[in-house]
Amino acid sequence: MPLLCRPAVAVPEHVITQDDTLALAARLHADHPQLRLVLRLIEHTGVVKRHIIRPIDQTLEHSGFTHRSGVFEQEAKKRVPPVVDEALANAVLVAEDIDAIVFVSCTGFMMPSLTSWMINELGFRTDTVQLPIAQLGCAAGTAAINRATDYCVAHPGANTLIVACEFCSLCYQPDDHDVSSLLSNGLFGDAVAAAVVRGDGEGVGVILRAQASHVIPGTSQWIAYEVKDTGFHFRLNKGVPGTMQQVMPELGAFVEKNGLQLPGLDFYVVHTGGPRVLDALRTHGHVPDQGLQDSWHTLAHHGNIASAAVFDVLCRTADSQPRDGACGIIAGFGPGITMELALGTWQTRPMHTVLSTPAAGGLQ
């Protein structure tokens, strides 16, 4: 079975703290009729600091969609290569060993995709398959893992590289004054992540054993972009937090279908959409507080970094050195409203020895 190797994650050098965010919101929106609510919501995000690709004064200045698109391309070409190199090293592979690249981003658009540039400039083979995904938002991280798994299953022994490049700060819109937009200004951060899925199942990481996708009916516009001349305008329906309660039965059923129970898993790699997402897993999914600590830490130190979030959480999980055969879930939520899930077991030695001692209760 395919194995998801330890990811590589990099955040930019410019830091904005929650205190900075609150001060900016109070100064820029002093006359906003719901300023107190906005400040309270930002305080309750759990975000201590975020990282952004440009200094805050440049970030707050809207230089036009054309210029911002150029910044995305320039910064991606600068920041993606070292992260890819680290991810390849974690997988004990080189660029020539990669058979497919899944590239995900919801914060910038390029055509041809960055995958074409990577093949031309970073040493990948010219027959490398390209799969850019641009419209799954925060769910794209787990979706990329699932599509990489699909490729490796369809092509036994193949290796797939995943790259998530999210510069959320490029989507800042100074003229959007609704509460959800102002809250988003205090939640999202920038990051680049990469990881390799090895089709031969060798190495240390997560053996990927099951996956699922689910769309909540009637919520297609609840997390969305409104595309204008000024670029992408993030729209968030006030009903979004409640959808986590709606998907909990589907999430639990997916885990149970594979012979396990959601509250009894050994690790949880959950996209850090915000505190309401994590709270719902605790209150409605009965996930233990300790199981969500890695997600809370990513949220606190990086904010919501969209599709890159699950990879940062997975790095933190790897640091805790789960036992061989530990069972866990990777979960992402995004526009649609879409839920992407992957279930797997932790491997600390070659696959054939793991299979001889499966985790109790399922995923054998």
Q: What is the mean pLDDT of residues 95-109?
A: 97
User: CA-CA distance, 60 to 249, in Å (whole number)?
Assistant: 41
What are 189's two structure tokens?
């951060």
Q: How many whole angstroms separate alpha carbon 154 and alpha carbon 248?
A: 30
CATH fold of 3-198, please? Peroxisomal Thiolase; Chain A, domain 1 (3.40.47)
* Joined tokens for residue 341: 């899930």
Dump the DSSP string for 214-271.
Answer: EE-TT-TTTEEEEEETTEEEEEE-TTHHHHHHHHHHHHHHHHHHTT--GGG-SEEEE-
| Domain limits, the chain | 3-198, 205-350
* Residue 350: pLDDT band with limits 50, 70, 90: low
Phi, psi of 191 (to 5 degrees): -170, 160
Please tell me which residue in 106, 138, 168, 315 is annotated as part of the active site: 138
Provide the token pair at 342: 């992957």
- Is 44's pLDDT higher than 50? yes
User: How big, in percent rounded to 5, are the helix, strand and coil portions of the chain?
Assistant: 40, 25, 35
Left (φ > 0), alpha (ψ -120 to 50) or beta: where does 273 sit? alpha
Q: What is the pLDDT of residues 214-265, one digit of tens each?
A: 998 888 888 888 889 999 998 877 777 778 888 899 999 999 999 999 999 9
Q: How far apart are CA 230 and CA 12, in angstroms?
A: 24
CB-based contacts of 334, cutoff 8 Å, min separation 6: 106, 136, 137, 138, 139, 140, 223, 271, 340
pLDDT value, residue 222: 83
Average model confidence (pLDDT) for the chain? Answer: 93
Asked whether the predicted pLDDT for residue 357 surpasses 50, the reply is: no
Domain pair 3-198 / 205-350, same fold: yes
Give phi and psi for 328, each to the nearest 5.
-155, 175
- Packing angle, helices 18-28 and 35-43, rounded to 10: 170
Q: What is the CA radius of gyration of the chain?
A: 20
Where do the DSSP E strands lie in 125-189? 129-133, 159-167
Q: For tokens 């516009």, name the residue.
A: 221
Cβ pair 254, 287 in contact under 8 A: no
Percent of the chain past pLDDT 90, that is, above it, reads: 83
What percent of the chain has a predicted confidence (pLDDT) above 70? 96
pLDDT value at position 58?
Answer: 96
Catalytic-residue membership of 138: yes
Q: What is the pLDDT of residues 308-341, one digit of tens each?
A: 999 999 999 999 999 999 999 999 998 988 999 9
Fold of the CATH domain 205-350 = Peroxisomal Thiolase; Chain A, domain 1 (3.40.47)
- How confident is the model at residue 362, as a pLDDT? 56
Alpha-carbon distance of 78 to 81, in angstroms, equals: 7
How far apart, in whole angstroms, are the C-alpha atoms of residue 164 and residue 21?
A: 25
- Please give the average per-residue pLDDT across 348-352, as a whole number: 64
What SS3 state is found at 81? helix
